[in-house]
Amino acid sequence: MEKNYLKAAKLWLGPDFDPQTREEVKRLMDSDPGELEESFYKNLEFGTGGLRGIMGTGTNRMNKYTVGMATQGVANYLKENFKDLPQIKVAISFDSRNHSAEFARITANVFAANGMKVYLFDALRPTPELSFAIRYFKCQGGVMVTASHNPKEYNGYKVYWEDGAQIIAPHDANIIGEVLKIDSPAQVKFTGGGENIEIVGEEVDKAYLEALSTLFLSPDAVKKHADMKIVYTPLHGTGVRIVPMALRKMGFTNIYGVEAQNATDGNFPTVKSPNPEESSALEMAVAEAERAGASLVMATDPDADRVGIAVRDEQGKMILLNGNQTASILTYYLLRRWKELGKLNDKTYMVKTIVTTELMAAMAKAFGVKMYNVLTGFKYIAAIVRENEGKGTFIGGGEESYGFNAGEYVRDKDAVVACCLIAECSAWCLEQGKTLYGLLQDIYNEFGYYKESLLSLTRKGKEGVEEIRNMMKRFRENPPQKLGDSPVARVMDYTRPQETGLPSSDVLQFFAQDGSVVSVRPSGTEPKIKFYFGAHGPDAAEKIKRLAEQFGA
């Protein structure tokens, strides 16, 4: 909610704030009125998953005060929700971003000062390992300090529930309500209770890797092709230790790194953006693959929950696969191997999001496996897993934004297990005289050609937020009559749960008679509006091109 930013800024000159903070507020007042307004015109929004924003001084920035106040709100909600427990427990991890370790320690201190048992990792660890740790230690909640794949200026704070998944309704709205009640650092218990903090590390690593090792399906193929050359880069993030450890535990022996990108550095000096969705992020790893003669490149984002890959095509050239293609390969591999191993039954299922390729649903149908379709966000995939506990078995699932998971140990997307399954699938392909690229072509030949594309429009600052809001309003009031040359047959507005059967979300989908689909949604983590294009059939690429032109590319 917008407020008088000058009045808000003056409050930060008071005794509740340290001298360094007060000096920075004075500097902004004297010499940078534009930044002052951006920093104080509203409170940094605690959204349905937690915090994410630019680091700096002010109510609309990630800093020790906004982190502390958010944590106090979360702590108050946990104390109310689990008031009958003798001890509330939380787990905390953090990524390689600037100030992540500091924010994690502040978060731990506030929880501890509120009388909670805190399991704090001794160094950076991936988001999926934090999810695993929550269940491992039987916690009631957890926090991952990360801004995922956002630019270096950002940091964030993801809140998890007792099942190891990010919070969903009703807890998300209820926690937001508690956070909004904390409007001053004076309300935060920043100190006390240090004895409640336990530093953890290697024990969880071992348990996590042991759990993941039970998910793999082709040990004989891995053994025969253990010397397959793999290049892996953590993009300066949390995968630096754990992904190579996992691959070696599987049996792979020829793992090449990108030395410059193994350095833990929140400035991400070797990439424009630490996002494996962007081709430039994999340039150094692809160059290393050419030097080493490797057939597979994998890159994870700073908190190691997303993975991007490059493989060799039929001419031996390294090409990048997008998130839909990788998810399709993994879906097929899991379904195929589960069937061959006699593990499929009427209780096994998979999950995808509404903006992810329909090829996954087509494959599941062919194998007689139920495919759930959920809102964008892996927390909704995790919610299906929780709903089916004791009733069904989750094979795996994913989303177009390079996130995938298999098994039920982790309740979020997991690039560690995804890297292992991609490498295992590659070995399995070699055993049959083909490559990952060849497998993808086989999938298209069997199930038809599917193509997807994503267009993201960034609109920064206060005005940008309003512009995105108005764009969504216009699409609702005046939906397109055609997608390309094909009439629109159906419109889905996900703010109407009574029609969609899913929780309310600011998403629109337009379905054409020829099977083309366009989904429109504002990003929940960045100042962007996203357009997802999907088409099916031999002319899918041409359809996608026309859709991109129609919607502004």
Kind of pairing, strands 370-374 and 318-321? unpaired
Q: 446 exposed, middle or buried (CB, 10 Å; 0-12, 13-18, 19+)?
A: exposed
- In degrees, to the nearest 5, what angle opens at C-alpha 361 toward C-alphas 359 and 433? 55
Helix (H, G, I), strand (E, B) or coil at 503: coil
Kindly give the residue spans of alpha helices, DSSP state H, lying in 320-460: 323-340, 359-366, 378-387, 415-431, 436-447
Q: Which two tokens stand for residue 13?
A: 């000159």
Q: How far apart are CA 145 and CA 55, in angstroms?
A: 13
* Count of other CB atoms within 10 angstroms of residue 551: 17
Residue 364 to residue 443: CA distance in whole angstroms: 12
- CA 84/CA 52 separation, integer angstroms: 32
Whether 148 is catalytic: yes
Find residue 352's DSSP bridge partners.
373, 398
Catalytic position from the list 148, 328, 505, 516: 148
State the Cα–Cα distance between residues 334 and 345, nearest whole angstrom: 14
The DSSP element (H or E) to which 213 belongs, if any, is helix 202-213
Measured distance CA(449)–CA(366) in Å, rounded: 15
Residues labelled as active-site residues: 148
